[in-house]
């Protein structure tokens, strides 16, 4: 894994370089010499994140209680099967 460090100015001037570097490892972006952001490939991000988020986890996040979520009720009907 290669770690790349770019200043904010370098990142702004050559984002394609940063994206290419992110395929090899994390890219640290600095502001005034201090790390401020990290650019990762989506694969690395998902690996760190632990896969896909479940809807129950997303709804349990702080601040989500303010969002109205009222899904329609499902209607299930049973049908007889003719095996003749």
> What is the full per-residue pLDDT of the chain (84 aa) written as tens digits?
789 999 999 999 999 999 999 999 999 999 999 999 999 998 888 888 876 667 777 777 776 667 777 788 999 999 898 888
Phi and psi of 39, rounded to 5°? -105, 125
Q: What is the pLDDT of residue 40?
A: 94
The topology (CATH level 3) of 4-52 is YefM-like fold (3.40.1620)
Q: Which of 44, 65, 31 is nearest to 1 (CA)?
A: 44
Q: What is the pLDDT of residue 53?
A: 67
Work out the end-to-end distance of the chain between its first and last CA atoms, rounded to an integer number of angstroms.
63
Q: What is the pTM of this model?
A: 0.58
Tokens of 71: 């899904």
Q: What is the pLDDT of residue 60?
A: 74
Q: What is the pLDDT of residue 65?
A: 67
């Amino acid at each position: 894994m290669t770690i790349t460090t770019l200043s904010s100015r370098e990142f702004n001037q050559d984002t394609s370089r940063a994206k290419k570097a992110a395929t090899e490892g994390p890219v640290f972006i600095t502001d005034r010499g201090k790390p401020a952001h990290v650019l990762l490939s989506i694969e690395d991000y998902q690996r760190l994140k632990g896969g896909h988020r479940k809807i129950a986890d997303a709804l349990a996040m702080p601040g989500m209680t303010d969002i109205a979520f009222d899904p329609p009720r499902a209607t299930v009907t049973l049908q007889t099967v003719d095996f003749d």
